[in-house]
Structures are given as structure tokens and as C-alpha cells.
Structure 1
Amino acid sequence: MSDPSTPTPMPPALGARVLAVTSGKGGVGKTFLSANLAAALARRGQRVLVLDADLGLANLDVVLNLHPKITLHDVFTGKATIAEAIVKAPGGFSVLLAGSGMVEYSRLTPEVRDEFLGVIRSVMPNYDVLLLDTGAGISDVVLFAVSLASEVMVVATPEPTSLTDAYAAIKVLATQHKRQHVRMVINQTARPGDGRAITSQLQQVLDRFVTTGAGRSVRLIHLGDIPVDPAVREAVMRRQLLMVNAPGSPAAMAVTELARKLDETVISRADGTGN
């Protein structure tokens, strides 16, 4: 039997661009970014589905203040169809929620692998963008979800522990999954330019210690920063989207710019390798 965590390239079918949002450690704003980025992309006219790929500790429903009656668990067990599990979220996009505490799905068995792959293949033709909100770290479930994406966004904060864990995650993506490039989003930056400097420092370390299967260093693409902004905490505490609660705030404007860059360099381009 093959290793269930082995990367599974998605078939070159027409449909959504699959983008994974991941992180080395939890608590860096990954799910917050996934939800608000989806809203920003929807404003640009994209049909967006956010799939909660953190099968063991899902919390996208909490961020969006949704109380789903049907989740991925019901789809996996045959109790409901995928169409029944997809719900509209505030902000003009759709979500497919996993449900919290799904212990049986915290390990990547061949069954979970096949079910998850089947769900993604099924929804791809109906959307322009499929955002995979993965778990944090380098578990087999996280790495499998990331392997299904054409593009990976690693979210980190300027804190040393976050950057150390981001480096570890990128190293695995480069060495085991042969990723040639990874997009970086630095959250909670204090000053303009901090994220670009942090990305450059990470690149220097990767150039020195990590090579891909082709013998080249993985290339980090600085996608953008999200500044420290009190409006973020307020939106999180209210369980509202920042893009809805405070669309003119500095952080919301930064997310809007991230969406523009993704739309112009990844989603609307065939090769997806633009800066």
C-alpha cells in the first residue's frame, strides 16, 4: 500500500485555482486571513469556496459565526451530499466546513485521503478559486492538503517562534514536496517594509541550508503584509469579517491589496508564477 501522505497532483481539469493557506504554528491569523481574503476576492468578482482543511481542529465556523448543520463529516460518511454541505458566508463567498473535534480525521488514512480528494475534485468545476484553510504545522493531513494546491501561502508573524516554525514548514515543502516557490504573508507587522525584510532573511537561511529536488533553493515570494490593527481584534471578538466590519481599516486595505496581487499574478495567469 502506498504512503497516504504522498503528494497527489491534481488533474489538469478546468475549474478553480487551488490555493492553500498554511502556517508553521497556530495563532498567526491563518484562518482569519483565509476568510477575509475570500471576501476580498469575491468583491473582485471571483467565485470563491473556502474549504476547512483542518480536519481535526476546525475553527472556520467560529471565525464566521456560522452554525452548520451539515459538515464534511456528513459528506465523508455518506449522510449528506457536498452540495448540501456548502453554505454561503458573509462576504459573498461559499464555505465547506469540517466541524470541530473530528478525531477520526486527524490522521491521514487512505480512506480520508480518498474522501478529501474526491470532495476537492467535485467542487473545482464550480468555482474560480478554492482556498484550503489548512491546519498548522507539518502533520500528514496538513501536508496532504497543501500538496493538492497549485499555490501555497505561508502565514507568519514577526515573532521568532512563528518564523522558526515557518522555516521548518517551508523546508518540508521544498525537500519532500519539491515546491519551487512559496508565497509569504507576514501578519501583525509594526512598520511598512518589515515583512519584506523578514521574507528576505528567511530566503537567505533557505538558500544556505535547503534545496529542492532539482538542487535549487525554494523561492520565497513576498505577497504582502497585514499591519497590527485594533480593528482586527474587534472583528475577531465580534466573530465578524474584517472586510465587512471595518473595510476601511489598515488591515482590511492590506487584505484587499493581497487579493489584487493574487488575482493578477496567480488566478488570472496561466502559469501562476508572477510576482
Structure 2
Amino acid sequence: MNATETAVTSTEPQAGGVILHPARGKVIAITSGKGGVGKTFLSANLAAALTRRGLRVLVLDADLGLANLDVVLNLYPKLTLHDVFTGKCTLQEAIVAAPGGFSVLLAGSGMVEYSRLTPEVRDEFLRLMAEVVPRYDVVLLDTGAGISDVVLFALSLASEVLLVATPEPTSLTDAYATIKVLATQQQRDRIRLVVNQAARPGDGRVITQQLQTVLNRFVSPGQGAGVRLLHMGDIPVDPAVKEAVMRRQLLLVHTPGCPAALAVGQIAGRLVDTVLRAHTQA
């Protein structure tokens, strides 16, 4: 169990006869090797899909300095993570309700002081996580893209990493680089992969197999076995996504029955089954 997690048992039945017994505060980082692949879009809509399954969800904008979760959710926060770090407000005052029923802790944008991992930023973030994680069933960290020290530190706080990539060669090259760093520096032996903007059914599985082949040949975390990629699903190319983003609305609210929204719901279901350890009751 990750150091930031606190175990708890939930016995409240959820829709469909499912009873969830997650570790309180399971931390899942959503990241990407390359920007512009839909990472924040997935973070927000995945939070909405998990909330619909009866989980208490917090999305923490860990893209310090270049935050845009507020734009995706059409929120205009008066208080941000920066205000918490500087003591201008309490953590509870900075957490706000988002469309979709989940909670968010937004970061400020254009904050140069968060462009690198200083001891002060590290300590404040650790204090924040220790306080916020026990309050939720799942905490989604919407990290920045790439392998900067700030991004890698945020990823180190998560028990699971969900990597978002598109079929474009540049995205896949950067995804490989990210996986390699996580395997060698953090000794990650598994990474969960979502392929966004998939043109055809099955694209994601093919891409996962191709990346796995390269990883098997060149990357090994520490002295253990090779890192394993787990394909969590594809999000198809869907014009409803662009329309929802332009309207600054959640896709699951704007067009809940479109192919991309249904795909996000399926990914949420797989996370519940494989990470949050859902159990069914006859």
C-alpha cells in the first residue's frame, strides 16, 4: 500500500448490486509523455464516471504552474493550491465542487515558482497529500506532461499510473520515454495505458503490444522483471469531444451516450474492477 493511503472498508451497496471496498484514498496519477493528448479531459470525465459508481472522488490539479483543469470544467476559482501552500486559506476552503459531483483542488496558472521541485514545494505537497488523501475513496492526480522533476515527484505519490497516449508517433515516442523513466527511476513494474483518439477498434491493443515488445527488449525496472503495460481501453475519435471541450463541459454531461463517453465509462469500470477492487454481491 502506498504511504499516502489509509485503508478503510465500505459496506454501502452501490448501483447494480456492487459493493465497493476500496482503500480510502487510492491515488491514481493520470499523465502523458506529450502534451495535448487529452490527459486533463480524461481526468475530469473519469472522475465523473467514478462518482456515478458511488465513489467519493477528488481531482487534484498537479500540473503546477500550467494548470488548465479549471478551463475544462468551466470553473473560476477564487482560491487555489497556491493559496493553500502560502497559508492564505485552508485546504477545505480551496476544495470546490465540480460539475459531475466530484471535488477538485485547482492549481494556479503561470506560477513560475512551481516550474521546478524546490524543497518547499515538495514539503507543502507532501503535507497536502497526507491531509487530503484519507478523505476520499480515490484521488486522481492530473499531472503535467513529460518527465520534469515536478511531474515525476507527483507520479511518485501515486499507487497507480494511468498513461494517456494517442496513435501519433510523437506521442508514442514520448510515452515510451516516460515509461522508461518510471521503470528505471521509480521501479514501476506496471503502467496502465489509455489510447485516446483511436481511429479503429483494437488500435489500443496493437499499440500496447508494440510498446510492450520494445520495453521487453530495452527496459527493466531495477533488477526485476520487465515493466508490464496494462491496456485499460481506447477512446475513439469522436466529434462530441471537441464540442464538449469548446463548450467547457464534461463530455459525460454534454453527450453522455456518445462513443467517447461510453468508452470513458468502460475505463472507469475497469479501474473499479482492477484497482479499486470492487466486489459483487448476489
Structure-1-length-normalised TM-score: 0.94
Is 1:141 the counterpart of 2:150? The answer is yes
Q: Select the residue among 64, 73, 77 that pairs with 1:68.
A: 77
Q: Structure 2 matches for 1:209-248, cutoff 5 A?
A: 209-248=218-257
C-alpha displacement of 1:83: 0.1
Q: Select the residue among 99, 115, 135 that pairs with 1:106.
A: 115
Q: Residue 84 of structure 2 aligns to which amino acid in structure 1?
A: V
Post-superposition CA distance 1:189-248 (Å, at most 9, x none):
011100000000000000001111133210000000000000000000000000000000
Q: Select the residue among 49, 55, 58 that pairs with 1:49.
A: 58
Is 1:186 the counterpart of 2:179? The answer is no
Q: Structure 2 matches for 1:65-214, cutoff 5 A?
A: 65-214=74-223
Once residues 44 and 130 of structure 2 are traced to their aligned partners in structure 1, the CA distance between those partners, rounded to angstroms, is: 21
Once residues 151 and 123 of structure 1 are traced to their aligned partners in structure 2, the CA distance between those partners, rounded to angstroms, is: 17
Aligned to 1:10: 3
Post-superposition CA distance 1:40-68 (Å, at most 9, x none):
00000000000000001000000000000
Aligned to 1:4: none
Q: Select the residue among 43, 52, 67 that pairs with 1:34.
A: 43
Q: Alignment RMSD, CA only?
A: 1.1
SS in 1 for 2:83: helix
Runs of 4+ in 1 over 3 A off after TM superposition: none
Once residues 85 and 3 of structure 2 are traced to their aligned partners in structure 1, the CA distance between those partners, rounded to angstroms, is: 20
Q: How many pairs are equivalent? A: 262
Q: Residue 6 of structure 2 aligns to which amino acid in structure 1?
A: A
Post-superposition CA distance 1:49-106 (Å, at most 9, x none):
0000000100000000000000000000000000000000000100000011111011
C-alpha displacement of 1:12: 4.9
Q: 1:245 to 1:11 in 2, by over 3 A?
A: closer
Once residues 224 and 250 of structure 1 are traced to their aligned partners in structure 2, the CA distance between those partners, rounded to angstroms, is: 13
Aligned to 2:266: 257
CA contact (8 A) 2:70 2:106 kept: yes
SS in 1 for 2:200: coil
**What percent of counterpart residues are identical?**
74
C-alpha displacement of 1:268: 2.2
Q: Residue 114 of structure 2 aligns to which amino acid in structure 1?
A: Y
